[in-house]
Amino acid sequence: MGIGGSILLIVVGAILTFALDDTNLGPFNLDTIGWILQIAGVVALLLTLYFWNTRRRTVVQPTTDEVIERRERRY
């Protein structure tokens, strides 16, 4: 979903919760839907940030050719 989709869910949920006066739309309560969207947006944002953070922790091992070249340069 990404950061943009998460922020979109949070914004739409906040609009449904705080900006609309008529909270009942037939069998649906817009306040409840708004809170659910906000919580889903926050969870999606945290998951996105977690996976982005773990993806950046890669360790690059030098190849054997690079190790041999470094040893040869020292001597």
Tens digits of residue pLDDT in 13-70: 999 989 888 777 788 888 899 999 999 999 999 999 988 877 656 666 666 666 666 6
* CA-to-CA dists, residue 70 to 13, 60, 74, 75, angstroms: 57, 16, 7, 9
**Confidence check: pLDDT of 75 > 60:** no
pLDDT of residue 53: 77
Domain residue limits at 14: 2-73
20 vs 7, residue with greater confidence: 7
pLDDT of residue 67: 63
The answer to whether the beta carbons of residues 23 and 30 sit under 8 Å apart is yes
Which is it for strands 24-25 and 28-29: parallel, antiparallel or unpaired?
Answer: antiparallel
The pTM is what?
A: 0.68
User: What's the chain's Rg over C-alpha atoms?
Assistant: 24
How many domains does the chain fold into?
1
